[in-house]
Structure 1
Amino acid sequence: MISIFMFLAALLFLLIGIPVAFVFGTVAILFAFFVPDLGLEVFSVLPFRIFGIMSNTTLMAVPLFIAMGLVLERSKMAENLLISMSALFKNVRGGLAISVVIVGAMLAASTGIASASVVMMSVIALPLMIKAGYDKSLASGTIASSGTLGLIIPPSIILIILGDVINVSVGELFMGALLPGLLLVGIYIVYILIYSYFKPEVAPVYQDVQDVSIKEILLAILPPLFLMLAVLGSIFTGVASPTESAAFGVLGAVVLAKLNKSLDFDMLKYASLETVKLSGMIFMILIGATAFSLVFNELGGTDMVLEFFTQDISDVWAFIAIAMISIFILGFFIDFIEISFIVVPILVPVMEAFGIDPIWFAVLIALNLQTSFLTPPFGLSLFFLKGAAGDMIKTMQIYKGIIPFILLQLLALGLVIIFPDLVFAFI
């Protein structure tokens, strides 16, 4: 029971708004100090665990992929891609929204940073969509959901974290997540086509696009596509590890920025500082979560969860259903990083006891966590979109527009549960 109170105390502090890393560390210290059977001596092994985090070569890919994404964010790649895609789909009803989805998928495969993608698309695409007469709810839903594709389409930061937490190959996890990610892109496009067909006024044909030659389209599409194929291809074929491919990706992003004539000292300074900030935040959360899990396990929390699922319920599908529903509900209130570092490690022993394939289970969690970026009231994509859009769009319009895309994500999650081969197609 004490371990349950510990988990609830952490959730309460998170909901209050206290920084995540401090919540995990503080709750761990408080319960270790006040529970008579523990004491602060339980932290004697913490330095060894922290050293293990520092020397983890898989986690080294996190700051590298962040740096790669930040360089590409400033290289005007998204703007060039959107202009080119808009020209390709200018005669299609809903074509501008489809262009946003495709560009969002390409940015996801090139950067892996959802926040940067949402902000870029909000600044570039939203004014175009409003000018074209698009329904603001559809425009905001398309942009927010397309921006979060970076959570499921490799090279995703969350997939790297899940690979480390669940202890599976990040390369295989990338391969497993590729088809479900593309499936989600396809579902978005089909929904936009059907919705705009039956309600033409929400997504009119937008032909007020500057003429772009085939050469300009190829120059906009091929460089990021080549970088994407080089990074993911080297991982999938086993030529390089995810960390080595991430380092290559950073170099490729710098080369693309140079070709776009957007490489300068200010860009490199911005990318370096933001990489340090984001990486520092993630690793501080990881250290705090390590302290939390250390005390939680000593209090018997993991054993209690394992006993509940394997003895009291003893049904694998009931476990999967409860796990997915719990992650979905928690996603309304707390961030995907907290869920990855606190909730997922509790589920891993149960997953192993039931003999569930860890790659498949990790992809299910990643798809589910993607909704946490979109679900009101604390969906980060909604905040990024509103912040970048300003007065162009109202908060309620964003909430209304995002609901269909949340349902589409749940549909994709259901399809991957029913058809596990979607995960193993490329493995």
Structure 2
Amino acid sequence: MSIAIVGLGFGAMLLLMFLSIPIAVAIIAVGGFGGWMMYGMPLVDMMGGVIWSSLNSHSMLAIPLFMLLGELLLRGGIADKMYDAMAVWLSRLPGGLLHSNIATCTLFSATSGSSVATAATVGTIALPALQQYRYPVGPSLGSLAAGGTLGILIPPSINLLVYGSIANASVGQLFAAGIVPGVLLALLFSAYIAIFHGRAGEEATELVRMPLRQKLALSKHLIPPVVIFGVVMGSIYGGLATPTESAAIGVMMSLGFVALGGQLSWDLLANCFYQAARTSGMVMIVLVVALLLNVTISMTGAAQAVTSWIAAYDLDRLTLLLVLLVFYVILGTFMDAMSMMVLTVPIMMPVILVAGIDPIWFGIFVVIMCEIALITPPVGMNLFVVHGVRTDGGSYGDVIRGALPYVVVMMGFTIVIILWPGLVMWLPDILAGRG
């Protein structure tokens, strides 16, 4: 297969998406039709077996379970109290509650696995306080949009689960690889706030002067997410449970914490199950069509054509990754994060393997690119989410202006991990006994 035909198929999928055709339909239309054109019905017939063998797997259960875990924490009132506890401790820092936005997003990300859920949850909780203490609008909204992106990097991450399925990579190793970059990125966000918005929130003096006893009393609300994260991740890395089993443990623990808080009810459970099922269904459909596209790419030799085309330019590892950085940033301006990942990873995997790039490291690279896509206009999903939860009726441009500096921070951080890949691979190597 020629590179021109591969480019034509990729362009056709993008065109269908621009025409507002659902993502899954666009991918399967091109992938299925392309496979039929090349090999006829035998290739189409074998796709049913691919779907069954891929979804008839215990690891696939982790996706709806982690979705349910996040829903329980959100609707059980745990997230609200988490923000209050963060606010009283971090309000002394230059930038005040803007740091609470980042810290709460970081902690909520460690249990929810979804950027959109993180941005919506923390945004709904934080905006009234930010407005009350007259924080600048742009930086407030930008910190919420950027902090929400951590939901797909810090484990448990739905995007890392999907990447692991597409790239046939270890989910446990991917989760381990996401911890250090996720924490470092959160610290960089806070450093940017302290440097450029250090005078924000000077009117929030009552939070700064709160008695120590009251601060300690509020800190108990940080226990549920910390304990859940510790048990879920500890059981995976300790070899005591698979990601699916640890997700089930996390769900049971969250049910216990919600019950202890007096929030557990049949209505709450029904709502959580419905929302988790709805989101999981969307993710699973996209994952299925990505796997079917994988079959077509493998059978038609499209991956080999792309690999040969890139190899002809004789790019070294650094140049290749910088080209991919620019490519993904541009692609992310008009494509949502999940679509971008499932569309490009099957094509790029053979390329990065030939270049000697670790697929675990590349998974973190791709997810950071997805994070950037979430806050780059015009279709950044987190921008829409944060703008949607505000109540002051302000301009969408406020969110864009507040979030764009974080795009620069994330691009700079990506260059850092390209130059020093050990920042990503140190923890997975230690846990795998390679360090």
User: 1:164 matched to which residue of 2?
Assistant: 165
TM-score, normalising length from structure 1?
A: 0.94
User: 1:147 matched to which residue of 2?
Assistant: 148
**TM superposition shift of 1:393:** 3.2
Aligned equivalents of 2:286 and 2:369: distance in 1?
20
User: 1:355 matched to which residue of 2?
Assistant: 356
Matches within 5 A, 1:28-427: 28-32=31-35, 35=37, 37-197=38-198, 200=199, 202-209=200-207, 213-427=214-428
Residue pair 2:67, 2:112 contacting (<8 A) in 1 also: yes
Aligned equivalents of 2:304 and 2:354: distance in 1?
12
Residue pair 1:6, 1:27 contacting (<8 A) in 2 also: yes
Residue pair 1:150, 1:156 contacting (<8 A) in 2 also: yes
Residue pair 1:95, 1:205 contacting (<8 A) in 2 also: no
Q: How many residues align?
A: 422
What SS is found at the alignment partner of 2:376?
A: coil
Aligned equivalents of 1:207 and 1:173: distance in 2?
42
**TM superposition shift of 1:324:** 2.3
Residue pair 2:35, 2:300 contacting (<8 A) in 1 also: no
Q: Deviations over 1:288-321 (max 9, x none)?
A: 2233333344443212111012233342223222
Aligned equivalents of 1:169 and 1:30: distance in 2?
31
User: 2:28 matched to which residue of 1?
Assistant: 25
The 1:424–1:293 alpha-carbon spacing in structure 2 relative to 1, beyond 3 Å, is closer
The letter for the 1-side match of 2:85 is S
User: 1:5 matched to which residue of 2?
Assistant: 8
Aligned equivalents of 1:213 and 1:73: distance in 2?
24
Q: Deviations over 1:310-340 (max 9, x none)?
A: 2333422232222222222111111221122
The letter for the 2-side match of 1:260 is G
The letter for the 1-side match of 2:279 is L
The letter for the 1-side match of 2:202 is P
**TM superposition shift of 1:196:** 2.6
Flag structure 2 segments of 5+ consecutive residues without an equivalent: 429-435
**TM superposition shift of 1:373:** 0.9
Aligned equivalents of 1:404 and 1:314: distance in 2?
30
The 1:56–1:330 alpha-carbon spacing in structure 2 relative to 1, beyond 3 Å, is farther
Aligned equivalents of 1:262 and 1:311: distance in 2?
61
Aligned equivalents of 2:283 and 2:326: distance in 1?
25
**TM superposition shift of 1:213:** 1.5
Aligned equivalents of 1:181 and 1:423: distance in 2?
10
Aligned equivalents of 1:327 and 1:174: distance in 2?
22
Flag structure 1 segments of 5+ consecutive residues without an equivalent: none
Q: Deviations over 1:389-426 (max 9, x none)?
A: 14343201111000111111112211111111111222
TM-score, normalising length from structure 2?
A: 0.92
Q: Which moved more, 1:366-375 or 1:383-392?
A: 383-392
What SS is found at the alignment partner of 2:313?
A: helix
Aligned equivalents of 1:223 and 1:290: distance in 2?
36
**TM superposition shift of 1:368:** 1.4
Residue pair 2:13, 2:30 contacting (<8 A) in 1 also: yes
Aligned equivalents of 2:292 and 2:167: distance in 1?
17
Aligned equivalents of 1:57 and 1:181: distance in 2?
27
The letter for the 2-side match of 1:45 is M
Residue pair 1:91, 1:206 contacting (<8 A) in 2 also: no
**TM superposition shift of 1:154:** 0.7
What SS is found at the alignment partner of 2:205?
A: coil
Aligned equivalents of 1:60 and 1:74: distance in 2?
21
Aligned equivalents of 2:238 and 2:416: distance in 1?
27
Aligned equivalents of 2:327 and 2:259: distance in 1?
45
**TM superposition shift of 1:166:** 1.9
The letter for the 2-side match of 1:389 is R
Q: Which moved more, 1:21-30 or 1:380-389?
A: 21-30
Aligned equivalents of 1:295 and 1:150: distance in 2?
31
Q: Deviations over 1:94-123 (max 9, x none)?
A: 121111111110000011121111111221
The letter for the 2-side match of 1:2 is I
Q: Which moved more, 1:84-93 or 1:11-20?
A: 84-93
Aligned equivalents of 2:411 and 2:313: distance in 1?
27
Q: Which stretches of structure 1, 4 residues or more, deviate above 6 A after TM superposition?
A: none
